Chain A
Amino acid sequence: EAQVTQNPRYLITVTGKKLTVTCSQNMNHEYMSWYRQDPGLGLRQIYYSMNVEVTDKGDVPEGYKVSRKEKRNFPLILESPSPNQTSLYFCASSLGQGGGYTFGSGTRLTVV
C-alpha cells in the first residue's frame, strides 16, 4: 500500500531532550515536507526537500532540523524541544505534479 509512515504517533517529552520523528514513504517520491498543525493557525510548513541531500526552510523552521540521506526517509529533528513546539506534525510527499500530496497520519508531540 502506497503510504507515508510517521513514528511515533504520540510522544510526550521534556524540555531540552533531543528527539527525532521519523518519516518514510514507499512511493519513490522526490519531494517531501514537514508541517505542523496548531489550532487557529492551520497547517504551516517547517522544512521541505526536493531530493536527496536537498533541503530548504519552510515558513516556521526555527528549532527544527531535517536530513535527507535517502530518498524514502525524511526525519524531523528537535535538538532542544521547547513547550512551544507542542503540536501535531505531519509529513507529506509528492511526485511533484498537480496538488496530490500524500500525508502521513500525524505525530502528536507534547513538550513539558
Chain B
Amino acid sequence: GESVGLHLPTLSVQEGDNSIINCAYSNSASDYFIWYKQESGKGPQFIIDIRSNMDKRQGQRVTVLLNKTVKHLSLQIAATQPGDSAVYFCAEKKHAGGTSYGKLTFGQGTILTVHP
C-alpha cells in the first residue's frame, strides 16, 4: 500500500478491545474538530466531528472527546475490529469569514493496528 507517513505514532490492540487515539490541536479558534480514517490506498474517510462548543459526541462504536482547556481531542473506538486498522487523523476546521466553509488543518496521524 501507499505510505502516508513516516514515524507516525502507533497503537496496537487486540480485536474486541477498546482503542483510544489522542490528538493535540493548536488553534483555539477552530469551529469543528474532526476525525478521519485513511486505509491504505484510499482517501481520508470522515468518521465523526464535534463542534467547539461541545465536549463529547457519540457515534456508532465511536466517541469523540474534546478538552479545550488542554487543547486535546481523543477518539474512542469500542470493540475494535480488524477492519478498523488504518491511519487516523484529527483535523481542525475554522470557518472562513462568516461562511460555513473552512479549511481543514490535519494532524500527523496515528497508525492503528488491530490483531485478530
Q: Which residues of A contact B (CB under 8 A)?
A: 4, 30-31, 33, 35, 37, 39-40, 42-45, 48, 50, 58, 88, 90, 92, 94, 96-106, 108
Contact = CB atoms under 8 A, between A and B. Distances in A.
B103 interface: yes
A91 to B, nearest CB: 8
11 contacts: A42-B89, A42-B106, A43-B104, A94-B101, A96-B100, A99-B49, A99-B104, A101-B44, A101-B104, A105-B42, A108-B2
A104 B43 contact: yes
Given A42-B109, A101-B46, A88 B103 contact: no
Contact of A39 (B5, B32, B51, B93): B5
Contacts of B107: 42
Contacts of A31: 101
Interface in B35-78: 41-46, 49, 51
B106 A43 contact: yes
Nearest to A6: B43
B2 A42 contact: no
What band does the interface of chain B fall in when counting residues whose beta carbon is under 8 Å from A? 20 to 34
Given A40-B6, A42-B5, A99 B89 contact: no
A66 to B, nearest CB: 14
B101 to A, nearest CB: 5
B45 A103 contact: yes
A90 B4 contact: no
Which residue, B33, B46, B49, has most C-beta atoms of chain A within 10 A? Answer: B46
Given A99-B93, A104-B43, A106-B43, A37 B4 contact: yes
A3 to B, nearest CB: 10
Contacts of B101: 30-31, 48, 50, 94, 96
Contact of A99 (B3, B33, B42): B33
A109 to B, nearest CB: 12
B3 A39 contact: yes
A50 B96 contact: yes
Given A90-B44, A99-B32, 4 more contacts: A98-B34, A99-B34, A102-B46, A103-B43
